Amino acid sequence: MKPAGRKTSGRAIALALTWDGARWPARLLPPKARAFLQGRAKLLTVPAAGELSTLLAKDGIGEIRVCWVPRLKGGEGTLSKPFRTPWGKRIPFQAVTTSRFGEVLGVVYRRNLVQAAGD
């Protein structure tokens, strides 16, 4: 298994999501949660849902930082549309860090390159 501190291939993105996958404005998060999303380095701007699905399907994302907000928003704005990867399997991400900011949960997901190579 790959150590958590190593760099992964691909881009890094950060976003705040509700439990049903709808985007949540980062400006509404507590200051520590916003700092968590930014991480040590400035992360790339989060693309639209369709572009994000394309990047994930093409294996272009190496790290995802998510602040999970305990809300349900529903509607068209959720990230619930399915997409197919070229190999037809799930993308192997692993939660490597979790942090609590009041009722918000911050999670860093990184690609599990060992599992991806074995598939």
Q: How do the domains of the chain map onto residue ranges?
A: 11-118
Query: Is the Cα dihedral 93, 99, 100, 104 positive or negative?
Result: negative
For the chain, count helices (H), then strands (E): 3, 4
For residue 16, how many other CB atoms are within 10 A of its CB?
23
pLDDT in tens, the chain (119 residues): 344 444 445 788 888 999 888 888 889 999 999 999 887 655 666 777 777 777 877 778 888 899 999 988 766 656 555 656 666 667 778 999 999 999 999 999 998 766 544 55
Q: What is the pLDDT of residue 2?
A: 42
Given the DSSP bridges, would you call strands 11-18 and 104-111 parallel, antiparallel or unpaired? unpaired
C-alpha distances (whole Å) from 118 to each of 27, 55, 85, 113 are: 40, 21, 16, 9
Residue 103 is predicted with a pLDDT of: 94
Superfamily of domain 11-118: Dihydrofolate Reductase, subunit A (3.40.430.10)
What is the C-alpha radius of gyration for the chain, rounded to an integer number of angstroms? 14
Give the pLDDT confidence score for residue 58 in this predicted structure.
Answer: 78
The pLDDT score that the predictor gives to residue 7 is 46
The confidence score (pLDDT) of residue 3 equals: 45
3-state secondary structure of 85: coil
Which two structure tokens, joined as six digits, stand for 91? 């993308």
